[in-house]
Homo-oligomer: A and B are copies of this chain.
Amino acid sequence: MLKAKIETACTECALSQLCLPVALSSADVAALENIIDRPTPLSRGGYLFQAGDQFDSLYVVRSGSVKTYTVDATGTEQITGFYLPGELFGLSSINEQTQNTTAQALERTSLCILPYHDLDGLCETVPSLARQIMRVMSNEIRDDHALLTLVSKKRAESRLATFLLSISARLKKRKLPDEEFQLSMSRSDIGNYLGLAEETVSRMFTRFHEDGVIKVNRKQVALLDKAALQEICDSS
C-alpha cells in the first residue's frame, strides 16, 4: 500500500519566503524541489544525524524544532543552535567527511532533506542558489559571533532575556504568537546553550516572573514587558 504523501511542495509551502526559495525563480524552485527528500516526521528525542555519521545532507525544519550540539574530545556537550521552521542547518560539516554535530528533534518534527551532492551540483547551474546558501552561512557566522558575545561578556540575566527575545522575534517572523509561546527545549538545554547551569536558568526564570517581566509555568512563557526584557539585555 502506498504511503499517503504528506509532502508539501516548496511552491505551496508557507515557509518559502523564509527558506531557500526566497531567492529563486519558479523554474529554479522546481529544480530544487526535485532533489528534496521529505521523510516521515521524527518524534521528540529522535536523531536526525549524529556526530561521526557520514556527512551527506543539509536540513531544513518544516515543523517542530531541532537542537544541534557538538561533543568534544573530553565529552563536553555544547548546544550550537535551536532551529525553527524554515531554518537551514547542518552547515558546519560541509568541508568534512563526517558530521561534527548531532541533531535531535525537540518535539515531533518534520524536515526537508537536501542531499549535499545534488545541491552542490544544482549550485553550478543555479548561481542564485549558491549565493543564497552563502547568505545563510554568513548569517550563521554573524549569529554565532553574537552568541559568543552573549556567553563571553554578559551576565546570566542578560543571557536569558536575550534568548527569550530572540525566540520571540523568530516566532514573529513566522507569524506565530510571539508574546506567549511554548519553549520546546528544557532548562538544561537552555543552560547548556547559554553557558549557564540549569539551576541558574531556573532562578532567572523565577526572578523575571517575580519581577512581572514574564509569566512562566514550566515550558509555557508569556513575555509581559518586552521593553523591560530589552533593558535587562542591555544592562551590565
Contacts and interface: CB of A to CB of B under 8 A. Distances in A.
A92 interface: yes
A145 B145 contact: no
Interface string A88-118: 0001111110001100000000000000000
Contacts of A12: none
A141 B142 contact: no
Copies of this chain in the oligomer: 2
A234 B74 contact: yes
A159 B100 CA distance: 21
Contacts of A185: none
B92 A138 contact: yes
A149 B72 contact: yes
A123 interface: yes
Contacts of A195: 151-153
Contacts of A124: 127
7 closest residue pairs by CB, A with B: A152-B195, A94-B138, A78-B149, A95-B135, A144-B144, A124-B127, A137-B137
Interface of A: 70, 72-74, 76, 78, 80, 91-96, 100-101, 120, 123-124, 127, 130-131, 133-142, 144-149, 151-154, 194-195, 234, 236
